[in-house]
Amino acid sequence: MKSLISSRTRDEDSIAAYRTLRECFGNARGIAAADPAAVEQALARVTFADVKAPRLIEALQAIAAERPDMDLSFLRDLPLPHALAWLERLPGVGRKTAAAVLNFTALDRPILAADTHTARALGRLGLGTTDATRVSERVTAAMPDWTGADFRIFHVQTKRLGKTICHHRAPECRICPLATDCDHARLATTA
């Protein structure tokens, strides 16, 4: 659920909104049965709460229709492309959300959940794209021996780099620990 509400929202706000959802509605089944206006109110701290509330309800209802127990553990045993496809057909679920569900939960699947910060930093380093979906695909494919934990650590570290040094408008290449390996930093110092 948290992955569905976190897009374009600061982590502390999406975590607070997730906690409010749980306090107000108890669990996924409670949210799926809730009034959209009440869910929107619970999500007031997140960006686009008016869009995310009905999508969250629809996604949870779609899961309940196929998996009445709301248990997604079956995704652990599916080939990764099939698990991604199953999640991505849910309302409001794209690659980032699907990858986060597969990696940042007990499913512990080896896949990179790429957000704008990780995609920007890795794109500047020379990955050839800053599109989060493509970054997730390329990094996941390039690291076939990594575990779910490896990808979580990598996500957290590259997100931190993107948020604190490799900013959108004015990256601080001179203090970046990866500057010597970074295409963008090399171009910035020669310009």
CATH assignment at residue 41? 1.10.340.30
Range of the domain at 175: 76-191
The residue length of the chain stands at 191
Judgement on whether residues 109 and 155 belong to the same structural domain of the protein: yes
In terms of domains, do 97 and 114 share one? Answer: yes
CATH number at residue 167: 1.10.1670.10
Query: Which of the following is catalytic: 2, 52, 115, 159?
Result: 115
Q: What is the pLDDT of residue 7?
A: 83
Query: Of 32, 56, 71, which marks where a domain is finished?
Result: 71
- Give the pLDDT confidence score for residue 1 in this predicted structure: 72
Q: How many domains does the chain have?
A: 2
Does 51 share its domain with 86?
no
What is the C-alpha to C-alpha distance for residues 158 and 154, in angstroms, rounded to an integer? 6
Q: What is the pLDDT along the chain (191 residues), one digit of tens a residue?
A: 788 888 888 889 999 999 999 999 999 999 999 999 999 999 999 999 999 999 999 999 999 999 999 999 999 999 999 999 999 999 999 999 999 999 999 999 999 999 999 999 999 999 999 999 999 999 999 999 999 999 999 999 999 999 999 999 999 999 999 999 998 898 877 65
The predicted pLDDT at position 186 comes to 87
Is residue 47 within 8 A of residue 8, CB to CB? The reply is: yes
Q: What is the pLDDT of residue 191?
A: 57
Same domain flag for 58 and 124: no
Domain boundary among 17, 39, 71: 71
Q: Which of 2, 89, 104, 118 has its CA nearest to residue 52?
A: 2
**Cα(178)–Cα(149) distance, integer angstroms:** 22
126 in the same domain as 166: yes
- 2 is known as an active-site residue: no
Same domain, 93 and 181: yes
Cα(121)–Cα(124) distance, rounded to whole angstroms?
5
Active site residue 115: yes
pTM of the predicted model as reported, rounded to 2 decimal places: 0.91
Q: Which of 14, 40, 71 is the last residue of a domain?
A: 71
Same structural domain, 148 and 187: yes
Same domain? 191 vs 103: yes
Give the model's pLDDT for residue 76. 97
- What's at 125, amino acid-wise? L
Q: Which of 2, 52, 96, 163 is flagged as catalytic?
A: 96
Q: Are residues 107 and 184 in the same domain?
A: yes
